[in-house]
A and B are shown apart, each in its own frame.
Chain A
Amino acid sequence: MNGETGPLLSAIRKHGLGRSNLIPILHEIQKEYRYLPEEELRNVAKIMDIPLVDVYGVATFFTSFSLEPKGKHQVTMCMGTACHVRRSESVLAAAKRYLGIEPGQTTEDMLFTLETVNCLGACAMGPIVVIDGKYHGQVTPARVTKLLQDVADAERIPEHAEDRVAAIP
């Protein structure tokens, strides 16, 4: 689709064609679409002259790449050791229950994608939940439920959406 003019070409222009630029280029494509569309992976293979199987291999090796479209709101839970000893497991359980999905999945309405990471380097404030790039520290199961509910509510009342999201502590 956008192979000739879209993010792929601008990424190649920025990083260059060499094999060592594959990962940065995939990062740029992912940034654009929030996932790696199959067609773009085929274009990468063709333009960079790398076997498709290698492109696929790299795209599936690193957890920061996704081959599935992601939801509008990105919910990332830290499952690192520091967060774990402060009960991040029960926070994750609460989020799973509220959203009805497992980590790595997206809700049917494409509103939320739930993901886990190994550590965000903000261990002092664990357990950590990041919602759309904003860090929330010392989260409890009750609090994460409330945070998610607020985001969902804001989606349902469009005219107040902006204020509501901004008001989350």
Chain B
Amino acid sequence: MARIETPADLEQYRLQLREKFGKYQYAVSVCGGTGCRAYDCINVFETLREIIDKKDMSHTVNLRLTGCQGFCEMGPLMFIHKNGIFYVRISPEAVERIVESSILGDEVVEELLYKSPADGRRIVHQQEIPFYNKQRRFLLAMNRDIDPLNIDDYIAKGGYGSLAWALFESSSEEIIDIIERAGLRGRGGAGFPTGRKWRIARQAPSPDGIKYVICNADEGDPGAYMDRSLLEGNPHQVIEGMTIGAYAIGASEGYVYVRHEYPLAVHHLLEALDQAREKGLLGKNILGSGLDFDIKVSVGGGAFVCGEETGLIASIEGKRGMPRPRPPYPANYGLWGRPTNINNVETWQNVPLILQMGADEYAKIGTEKSKGTKIFSLVGKINNTGLVEVPMGITLREIVYEIGGGIPRGKAFKAVQTGGPSGGCIPAHLLDIPVDFERLQEVGSMMGSGGMIVMDENTCMVDIARYFMEFLTHESCGKCVPCRLGTKRMLEILTKICDGQGTNENLEALESLAADIKASSLCALGGTSPNPVLTTLRYFRDEYEEHIVNKRCPAGICQALITLRIDPDTCTGCGACLKICPVEAISGEKKQPHSIDPEVCIRCKLCISRCPKEAIYTE
């Protein structure tokens, strides 16, 4: 079917698709997210396709290469819809057996099931795996079930139904009311109420009637990749959300601003836009409603500050992506001076969901002031790394220990970092706070866009503060003095402390600089830049003092303050470290314990990563 002209057409087309998909006996999804691609899932998928073709089963098996299914730790992943079997860490060699046993037959291949680290039990179904069963995957669930390059999959799942409802059964005002009543708040970091923002943009006068909507997919927060996965895995839901928003605000043109490090997201998005246009779900006279709206893609150039809305707008206009003072806010004076509504990818994806669920149902999820779910990328020193979607109000402890499965190798938990370079490090004694915009801010961090980096006893908190400050000095656009110079001065102090040159006055200097930078920076990049330093000072002051007073790095990270040693009881004298040491600091007879000369050693730790016995440690 070519263009879909009316909502009735859409419903009919949906029924046709469901009938068509219903004819397949089996549906199999192989995760094609970026994580799994690095584990060569494409090879797994191609092998599967070859086998299916060879057995002449392409009419009975509906094969999908999907977006990220979340459990990146265990990739490549495969889900068989008929019997709900979920396989992990699949190699191309294992595919034949899977086909024979679980697609043609009804048996499970035990060794390819997820194995619970707690009791060694094999788990057949996704939903029973602890990583999944505490999540509420309202948005991410779709990633498993659709092929992002096929609009039919999305439509069959009910896609574009919310748009049809909005255009024909509802008014712009009513849509904004629903979004407001649902309590949706921006997922890009600050949590501004989405409905209120839309209303301002709707009411703002435009000199020539033109207004814009923008999707912020810059995702500059290092350690966060949920926006990437949403765009890669389910681009149509972003398009649908933006089109509903455009209708509510009165915009005729939209932009998606994607960072250039995400080529696959750009590819999937462009393909989805073409397909939506072809079906009449985007472009002129959408679904016969008279609404004209189209979306362009703008690819960024690798600058963190371009995630800030005014910087982003400058970048779309073809200028250096520097923020400007607000007000005027983009809602009044945005892209090319026109009223512009800008939301994050995940915010846009929530829009069709809210219309589908209804404001009241949606508002039942979450806490009093933070509604719905939030997707986090759970990474760092954690057993189950991956993307998790949880209801607001869940505690950090539940995320880290139940979903995340705790810290690898029995190490002690130290902190969890949220909010990226604008956020902070939350220590163990606060693990029971609920995930909620206000609560995270109270403890000195913030929700941010969703990076959640877990740190263990081997993470040095002074080094983390230095790391973020280095990041921020790099990314400061240089327009305002407090941020440009303030971050530099803070970095110098932190570097001194890491190098063992710190003094007691340094900590006060950091605190006073932090207060000034917070108060006087032009944009939130500078305004929030002291947060990583302030939270580590607040919760891990003893670590700073160890560095300054005792010249020790308790976590064994800061190069100037550590010594590498070989444990003579563990060392087997294999000579691997001796060969790899670039400065010949290691000596020892074959098959005899080796030792390191601390005078020569440059603490590059090459030997640690090479030692098969883990006999080398830092002190």
Write the residues of chain A forming the contact surface with B, with a CB cutoff of 8 angstroms: 18-24, 26-27, 50, 54, 57-58, 61-65, 79-82, 84-87, 90, 93-94, 97, 117-126, 128, 135-137, 140-143, 145
Contacts and interface: CB of A to CB of B under 8 A. Distances in A.
A133 to B, nearest CB: 9
Interface stretch (B32-40, B80-88, B154-162, B435-443): B32-40
B179 interface: no
B299 A24 contact: yes
B115 interface: no
The 5 A-B residue pairs with the shortest CB-CB distance in the complex, in nearest-first order: A62-B301, A124-B72, A80-B222, A140-B609, A121-B225
Interface in B10-49: 34-35, 37-39
Interface in B299-321: 299-304, 315-321
A119 B223 contact: yes
B225 A122 contact: yes
A81 B300 CA distance: 21
24 contacts: A20-B318, A23-B318, A24-B299, A26-B301, A54-B319, A57-B320, A58-B301, A62-B302, A64-B300, A65-B301, A81-B380, A81-B417, A93-B604, A118-B222, A119-B220, A119-B261, A121-B228, A121-B261, A124-B73, A125-B385, A135-B34, A141-B605, A142-B580, A142-B610
Contacts of B477: 61
B320 A61 contact: yes
Nearest to A20: B318
Interface string B262-304: 1000000000000000000000000000000000001111111
Residue of A82, A94, A141 contacting most chain B CB atoms (<10 Å): A82
Interface string B86-108: 00000000000000000000000
A26 B298 CA distance: 13
A119 B67 CA distance: 19
Contacts of B385: 123-125
Nearest to B471: A118
B609 A118 contact: no
B113 interface: no
B459 interface: yes
A125 B37 CA distance: 11
Contacts of B350: none
B453 interface: yes
Nearest to A120: B261
B451 interface: yes
B38 A125 contact: yes
Given A20-B318, A94-B606, A124-B379, A61 B73 contact: no
Residue of A23, A65, A79, A136 contacting most chain B CB atoms (<10 Å): A23
Contacts of A54: 319
A102 B124 CA distance: 48
Interface residues of B, number: 60
A94 B471 contact: no
A79 B34 CA distance: 17
Given A24-B298, A81-B467, A87-B605, 7 more contacts: A64-B300, A82-B380, A82-B451, A85-B380, A123-B451, A125-B39, A142-B606
Residue of A81, A87, A126 contacting most chain B CB atoms (<10 Å): A81
A131 B38 CA distance: 12
A83 to B, nearest CB: 8
A81 B532 CA distance: 12
Given A61-B301, A62-B301, A119 B321 contact: no
B537 interface: no
Residue of B224, B454, B455, B475 contacting most chain A CB atoms (<10 Å): B224
B377 interface: yes
B222 A82 contact: yes
Given A19-B318, A126-B379, A64 B302 contact: yes
Contacts of B604: 90, 93-94, 97, 141
A27 B299 contact: yes
B301 A64 contact: yes
Interface string B312-347: 000111111110000000000000000000000000
A119 B304 CA distance: 10
Residue of B39, B228, B260, B455 contacting most chain A CB atoms (<10 Å): B260
Contact of B453 (A85, A121, A125, A142): A85
Nearest to B475: A118
Nearest to B303: A62
A153 to B, nearest CB: 17
Given A118-B222, A119-B222, A135 B37 contact: yes
Contact of B223 (A24, A62, A82): A82
B186 interface: no
B197 interface: no
B171 to A, nearest CB: 32
Contacts of A142: 580, 606, 609-610
Contacts of A19: 317-319
Contact of A119 (B72, B224, B417): B224
A145 B606 contact: yes
A54 B317 CA distance: 12
B153 interface: no
Contacts of B299: 23-24, 27
A77 to B, nearest CB: 13
Contacts of A86: 380-381
Contacts of A122: 34-35, 38, 72, 225
B169 to A, nearest CB: 36
Interface string B214-238: 0000011111110011000000000
Contacts of A123: 223-225, 377, 379, 385, 451
B352 interface: no
Interface in B153-194: none
A85 B320 contact: no
B262 to A, nearest CB: 6
A90 B420 CA distance: 22
Nearest to B232: A121
Residue of B475, B582, B605 contacting most chain A CB atoms (<10 Å): B605
B319 to A, nearest CB: 7
A51 to B, nearest CB: 12
Contacts of A58: 301, 318-320
Contacts of B221: 119
A81 B39 CA distance: 21
A104 B600 CA distance: 29
B592 to A, nearest CB: 22
A137 B37 CA distance: 11
Nearest to A65: B301
B219 to A, nearest CB: 7
B609 A143 contact: yes
Contacts of A87: 605
Residue of A19, A54, A118 contacting most chain B CB atoms (<10 Å): A118
Given A124-B379, A126-B379, A119 B301 contact: no
A90 B607 CA distance: 11
